[in-house]
Amino acid sequence: MRDYMVPLKDGRKLAVIEYGEPQGLPVMFFHGTPGSRLLFLGDDKISKTLGIRLISLDRPGFGLSDPKPNRTLLDWVDDINEAADFLKLGKFSIIGVSGGGAFAAACAYKLAERLESVALVASTTPFENGKSPKGTMTANKIAFFLARKAPWLVRASYRSTKKLLEEQPEKFIEQNKKGNKHLHEWDRQFLQTDEQLKGLMMHMGEAFRVSVDECVNEPILLSKPWGFSFADIAVPIDVWHGQGDRMAPAEEMKKAASLISNCQTHFIPGAGHFLTDGDQIWSDILTTLLDRAKDNPSNQFPLVK
């Protein structure tokens, strides 16, 4: 693993960690909301085996990345363009998970010339008049509503979670083993063992590391108009979604995917929201990105068959 900071022209820095094969296909990973660049307790064996250079970034205000006040979805595209220049990347691929899917879609819209393809995994879809997409689970609807109407309450809740992670990690683990009844049964399987929950603690603890403010700001941002239409995306897109996902409802993603001209959909029966936690699905996502890139003769990275 390689952990470092990317300097940006406006003086901010983005925190980045790389997993997998350093000479492999460059794939940027956009975390969920909230989330962080830290994805695994160790290196990702699947990325390494397949020949993927997995580049995971903290968005502004999360982890160690400097905040950007009043940012928009499309502002992130400019950050990624600069980060790609700093990393000396030509073309690359993107995976956007959950809330990160909105930022991946923004790059697909505005940064097409640099992208091989984009994978939208359990991705959120645009809100209508600030309201959560139809079919969203009650807990998520309440969270988005409170972020807009009572941000101080959401901020206090995340501060409480941050304190629990830092001062009573054993209690956090126990609560998650017994709780999470609101989640899809398929998702709960990834929150059972101590190792799984230590990974969650690492990921979320890093998201809150400096401040919990972005845990309030980004949900508000996602509920605003995104500034583009899925119909205007020309980059090859792969949609990966659980049929039982109610954190980001599958039916809404089916509507959004139908607007994209070059789109392959992978709707998984019985699956919930945490698709990248399943080893086979994670491998399939990465393999599909490799297959998309194989048609470009200028690529110099090792392609695994």
pTM given for the model: 0.95
Neighbouring C-beta atoms of residue 225, cutoff 10 Å = 12
Q: How confident is the model at residue 190, as a pLDDT?
A: 92
pLDDT band of 175, cuts 50, 70, 90: confident
Q: Is residue 129 pLDDT above 90, yes or no?
A: no
pLDDT in tens, 152-173: 999 999 999 999 999 999 999 9
Q: Is residue 6 pLDDT above 60, yes or no?
A: yes
pLDDT band of 240, cuts 50, 70, 90: very high
CA angle 226, 230, 233 (to 5 degrees): 110
C-alpha 299/C-alpha 287 separation (Å) is: 16
Q: Where are the domains of the chain?
A: 2-293
Both tokens of 173, joined, read 């683990």
C-alpha 166/C-alpha 139 separation (Å) is: 25
pLDDT in tens, 14-24: 999 999 999 99
CATH of 2-293, one of 3.40.50.1820, 3.40.630.30, 1.10.3470.10, 3.20.20.150: 3.40.50.1820
Q: How confident is the model at residue 130, as a pLDDT?
A: 86
- Of 165, 158, 152, 232, nearest in space to 197 by CA: 165
Q: Is residue 303 pLDDT above 70, yes or no?
A: no
Q: How confident is the model at residue 294, as a pLDDT?
A: 86
pLDDT in tens, 183-225: 889 999 999 888 999 999 999 999 999 999 999 999 999 999 9
- Alpha-carbon distances of 128 from 25, 89, 125, 132, 248, rounded to whole Å: 36, 36, 10, 7, 14
pLDDT in tens, 51-77: 999 999 999 999 999 999 999 999 999
Q: How confident is the model at residue 304, as a pLDDT?
A: 43
Q: How confident is the model at residue 274, as a pLDDT?
A: 96
Residue 48, classed as helix, strand or coil, is helix
Q: How confident is the model at residue 299, as a pLDDT?
A: 63
pLDDT in tens, 244-272: 999 999 999 999 999 999 999 999 999 99
